[in-house]
Structures are given as structure tokens and as C-alpha cells.
């Protein structure tokens, strides 16, 4: 890469400035300038660190989204994350294994390995993280066979750990001396759940696998803070039983001072209800407290699995409020994917950053859509349209109701992982039968990024109906 051109850091909320981004021979001078810029920025934008209200201190990111990102894109991402008060990035996808072949996001000399990207993503990521003052947990490797084998095939799992040790060793030797401030820790990519790990025998296998990794890193003087992020589902095991399993594992591994147990809260994934997360993290707190030095963080999910869309910021905050009493810190899966202006409408970021600065969530409802129109296309099909609404920050989407029941929801979409479009202001409604004599009413409501919903717009009714006409009043 010779140049990255000129980047305007102005898509976020409160960040302004244009930086000439020439990386050919001026990288050192550039990043010194950027560090000064960050220091100045942070003095004038103090997040709610140490406050009584919860904020996320970091985010996960999947590298498949970043394959084409250059220094400019990474720099913008780190600006957004720092503006949101974050200091940690947990990286997923550094390497993955298919059969006996390993694909990496960096140049590798290991046998049976090759890059799955055209450029060194890890170097670009860490270089910009170093300038931004971000601490990075690098995911080591993931093998999809985990979902089939997990604890049921110990020999496969132990062999996988030996393979992953080689990847960790290569990553450390390649990057830690170059970016010691950014290369902060390791993330164990395998996600444990309470369906496949219930018994003492299963946790014993898991403890041995993790110990193979920890012992290797210690022996090679590559031992950094080590993070695990399991998940859970209330349908498979209760909080107490799952917590006891983890307490056993902590006792029988070298996990300890500075390491991070960071369970997914599983609210976005649907395994745990918002009202239940406190019980789970209370059980995890009891388990972690039995291992001196081990930290408990919450991985608070800011998405909705039903549509793989972004969660309203209000729901995200309520999750953190329920988890904060039990944990040492909070991070999220995944701000970069679901809230960052790099991948979605900046309304999510603006709404969240306002909360970080003030401790108060936007509570102003959007205006209602002013008009709703109905066009009959045939006997059972109607085109419903409404005028765009207005909001103090921005309209996230709309809900259309037929006879008081929601029939359609539209909202802004992510660029990567979605269409990048929305919301729309029309809907084709196909009825299962002709409207009866009582008619059908339609109304539209707008909602914003915090989750505030407007009052209904003007109600429209299909009242008189025949095969030749449709009257709307």
C-alpha cells in the first residue's frame, strides 16, 4: 500500500478533523500525530468511566468483516470505539481450521497453512490499535468440528490444542515485539455451552484442553491475559449447575491473575431472558470468587437473533444494568458489527455516546408518520405507504399495524451482514380473505435507535369493499 489518501473523521458524533494518511515512508510520524490527536480528543470527551451507570469497555470483532479494511478504515473504527469509552478489542478469526488445513489472516510459515486474505490483517489491526491506545485480545484459532466433537472426542480436542499452540507461538513471535502496547491478551475461540458441558467428566476434559494451551504459553514466555467467553441456554442447565462446572475447571487449570472469564449474556442469542441474566452472573460470580485473581466480565449482546439486527440501545443498557452488580467489567458482541458507523447508520453510535457521556438515554419519541395511504392492487392485495417521520437523532424504523396487530417491521440495516438499506415506507399486504363488513384499519409508528416508539400516525381504514371499489377514509 503506498497511500491511503485523505480520511475525514467526521461520521461519528463529536469527532472532527482531516488527516493526511500517507503510509509509505511516514508511518512513525503519522502514528505519533494520531496519538497526540487521541490524547487531545480524550481530554475533551470524557466517557462515563468509573460512573455509577454501566458502559461497555470493549467489543468483539470478526475479521471476515474487515478483510478489505485499510489503515483509514481501522483508524475510523478505533475513533468510534474510543469515543464510546472503550479500551479493549477481542478479535475473532485470526485463524481457522478446515479438516487439516489452517487458514490465517496473516502470513504464515506453518505446515498445511495458507492465508485466506490478500493482506496481513493482523499487522494492520495492531498497528492502528497501538496508535489508538487500544488493547487487543487475539483469538488463536477455531475449528468448526468443535460443534460436533467438543468434549465427546477428547483426543481430537487435545490434538487441536497442540496445533493451536503453534499458531499462538507464531503470532507472538511475529507481532508482540512490534506492538507490545496493543497485543494485550489471548482469546480462546472455542465457545463452551451448557448443553455439551454439564458433567464433571466433560469439564475435566475441557480443563485438560485449556491447560495444554496455558502450559505451552507459560513455558514459551508468551503467557498473556487469557479470555474465555462461553454461552448458556436456560433449557439445558440451571445457573447453579453451570456455575459449579466452571468452578471445577478454574480449580484444575492455571487460570488466575489477570485472566478473564467473560460469559455471553445470551440475551441477543435468545438463550436467556433479560429478566434472568442476574441469576446467571450471580452463579458465575460465586465460581470466579473461588479462584484468586480471576476476573469476571460480561459479554453483553447488542443484537437480536430473530432478525440478526441491532438491538435498541435501551435494551442493551438494561442488559448491562442487570449484569453490572456481579461483574468486574463489561464488553459487547459486537459494537463494531451492530452499532459502529463503519457498518450501520450512525444513529446507534450517537445515541449510545450521548448515554456514555451523560448517563441518560434519549427518551424523546419520534414524531408519528403524518399520513398513511392505501392503494388496492387486487381483491386481497394492498399497498400501504406512509410519510417518513422525524426524530431528534434519527428514525431507526417503522412498525405497521393491521387492526392493532403488528404485521410489518422495517429498520436500518448493517452494511456487512445486511443489505445496508432501510427503513422503507411501503408494504404490500396480502390478506388471507376479503375484508369483512367491519373493515380493516392500518396505522404506522416510528421508532428511534434508543427504542422509543411514536404514537400512531393517522389511522386509515378499508371500510366499504366490493369487487370494483375500495374506499379509504
Residues 6+ apart with CB under 8 A from 307: 409
Per the CB < 8 A criterion, the answer to whether 21 and 71 are in contact is yes
Among 14, 9, 15, 60, residue whose Cα is nearest residue 335 = 60
pLDDT at position 3 over 50: no
The cell numbers describing 394, all together, are: 434519527
Residues 6+ apart with CB under 8 A from 36: none
Q: 7: helix, coil or strand? A: strand
The average pLDDT across 8-32 equals 43
Q: Are domains 3-358 and 372-472 of this chain identical in fold? A: no
Distance of alpha carbon 313 from alpha carbon 353, whole angstroms = 10
Per the CB < 8 A criterion, the answer to whether 187 and 237 are in contact is no
The average pLDDT across 30-46 equals 54
Residue 51, burial from CB neighbour count under 10 angstroms (0-12, 13-18, 19+): middle
Which long-range contacts does 16-25 make (Cβ < 8 Å, 24+ apart)?
A: 19/75, 21/71, 21/72, 21/75, 23/71
Look at residue 36 in the predicted model and tell me its pLDDT: 58
Instruction: Residues 3-358: name the CATH superfamily.
Output: Glycosidases (3.20.20.80)
DSSP for 361-396 reads ---PPPPPPS-EEEEE-SSSEEEEEEPPP--SS-EE
* Cα 362 from chain centroid (whole Å): 21
List, for residues 408-460, the tens digit of each pLDDT value. Answer: 999 999 999 998 888 999 999 998 766 665 678 899 999 999 999 999 877 77
Look at residue 471 in the predicted model and tell me its pLDDT: 34
List, for residues 187-243, the tens digit of each pLDDT value. Answer: 999 999 999 999 999 999 999 999 999 999 999 999 999 999 999 999 998 999 999
Which residues, listed in sequence order, are joined to residue 115 by a DSSP beta bridge?
104
List, for residues 62-107, the tens digit of each pLDDT value. Answer: 999 999 999 999 999 999 999 999 999 999 999 999 888 899 999 9
Look-up of cell digits 507464531: 170
Task: Tell me the CATH number for domain 372-472.
Answer: 2.60.40.10
Cis peptide before 15 (omega within 30 of 0): no
Distance of alpha carbon 315 from alpha carbon 274, whole angstroms = 9
Which residues, listed in sequence order, are joined to residue 137 by a DSSP beta bridge?
90, 185
- Provide the whole-model pTM: 0.88
Distance of alpha carbon 316 from alpha carbon 322, whole angstroms = 10
Q: How confident is the model at residue 34 (pLDDT cuts 50, 70, 90)?
A: low
β-bridge pairing 395-402 and 440-448: antiparallel
The average pLDDT across 114-138 equals 95
Listed by start position, the domains of the chain span 3-358, 372-472
β-bridge pairing 372-376 and 381-386: antiparallel
Distance of alpha carbon 53 from alpha carbon 55, whole angstroms = 7
Q: Is the pLDDT higher at 46 or at 267?
A: 267
Distances (CA, A) of 229 to 92, 258, 323: 11, 15, 15
Look-up of cell digits 367491519: 438
Which residues, listed in sequence order, are joined to residue 60 by a DSSP beta bridge?
90
Which residues, listed in sequence order, are joined to residue 273 by a DSSP beta bridge?
none
Look at residue 465 in the predicted model and tell me its pLDDT: 45
Distance of alpha carbon 328 from alpha carbon 421, whole angstroms = 37
Look at residue 26 in the predicted model and tell me its pLDDT: 45
Per the CB < 8 A criterion, the answer to whether 215 and 209 are in contact is no
Q: 198: helix, coil or strand? A: coil
Look at residue 473 in the predicted model and tell me its pLDDT: 30
Mean pLDDT score across all residues of the chain? 88
Amino acid at each position: 500500500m503506498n497511500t491511503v489518501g485523505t480520511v475525514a473523521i467526521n461520521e461519528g458524533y463529536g469527532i472532527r478533523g482531516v488527516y493526511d494518511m500517507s503510509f509509505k515512508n511516514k508511518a512513525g510520524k503519522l502514528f505519533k500525530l494520531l496519538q497526540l490527536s487521541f490524547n487531545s480528543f480524550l481530554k475533551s470527551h470524557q466517557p462515563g468511566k468509573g460512573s455509577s451507570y454501566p458502559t461497555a469497555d470493549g467489543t468483539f470483532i470478526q475479521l471476515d468483516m474487515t478483510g478489505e479494511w485499510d489503515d483509514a478504515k481501522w483508524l475510523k473504527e478505533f475513533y468510534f470505539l474510543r469515543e464510546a469509552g472503550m479500551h479493549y478489542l477481542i478479535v475473532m478469526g485470526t485463524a481457522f481450521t478446515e479438516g487439516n488445513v489452517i487458514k490465517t489472516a496473516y502470513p504464515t510459515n506453518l505446515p498445511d497453512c495458507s492465508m485466506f486474505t490478500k493482506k496481513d490483517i493482523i499487522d494492520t489491526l495492531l498497528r492502528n490499535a497501538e496508535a489508538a491506545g487500544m488493547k487487543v485480545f487475539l483469538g488463536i484459532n477455531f475449528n468448526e468440528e468443535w460443534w460436533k466433537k467438543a468434549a465427546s472426542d477428547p483426543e481430537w480436542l487435545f490434538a487441536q490444542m497442540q496445533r493451536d499452540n503453534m499458531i499462538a507461538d507464531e503470532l507472538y513471535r511475529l507481532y508482540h515485539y512490534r506492538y507490545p502496547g496493543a497485543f494485550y491478551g489471548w482469546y480462546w475461540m472455542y465457545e463452551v455451552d451448557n448443553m455439551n458441558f454439564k458433567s464433571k467428566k466433560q469439564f475435566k476434559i475441557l480443563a485438560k484442553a485449556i491447560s495444554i494451551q496455558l502450559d505451552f504459553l507459560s513455558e514459551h514466555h508468551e503467557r498473556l491475559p487469557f479470555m474465555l467467553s462461553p454461552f448458556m441456554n436456560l433449557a439445558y442447565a440451571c445457573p447453579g449447575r453451570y456455575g459449579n462446572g466452571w468452578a471445577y475447571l478454574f480449580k484444575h487449570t492455571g487460570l488466575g491473575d489477570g485472566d478473564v472469564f467473560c460469559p455471553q449474556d445470551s440475551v441477543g442469542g435468545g438463550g436467556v431472558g433479560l429478566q434472568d441474566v442476574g441469576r446467571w452472573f450471580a452463579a458465575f460470580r460465586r465460581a470466579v470468587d473461588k479462584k484468586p485473581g480471576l476476573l469476571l466480565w460480561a459479554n453483553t449482546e447488542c443484537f437480536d437473533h430473530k432478525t440478526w439486527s441491532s438491538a435498541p440501545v435501551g435494551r442493551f443498557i438494561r442488559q448491562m444494568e442487570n449484569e453490572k452488580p456481579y461483574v468486574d467489567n463489561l464488553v459487547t458482541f459486537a459494537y463494531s458489527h451492530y452499532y459502529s458507523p463503519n457498518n450501520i447508520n450512525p444513529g446507534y453510535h450517537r445515541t449510545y455516546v450521548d448515554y456514555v457521556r451523560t448517563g441518560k438515554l434519549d427518551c424523546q419519541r419520534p414524531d408519528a408518520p403524518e399520513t398513511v395511504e392505501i392503494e388496492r392492487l387486487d381483491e386481497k392485495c394492498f399497498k400501504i405507504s406512509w410519510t417518513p417521520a422525524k426524530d431528534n437523532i434519527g428514525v431507526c424504523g417503522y412498525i405497521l399495524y393491521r387492526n392493532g396487530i403488528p404485521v410489518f417491521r422495517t429498520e436500518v440495516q448493517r452494511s456487512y451482514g445486511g443489505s445496508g438499506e432501510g427503513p422503507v415506507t411501503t408494504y404490500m399486504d396480502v390478506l388471507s380473505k376479503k375484508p369483512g363488513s367491519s373493515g380493516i384499519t392500518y396505522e404506522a409508528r416510528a421508532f428511534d435507535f434508543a427504542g422509543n416508539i411514536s404514537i400512531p400516525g393517522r389511522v386509515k381504514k378499508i371500510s366499504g369493499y366490493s369487487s370494483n371499489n375500495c374506499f379509504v377514509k
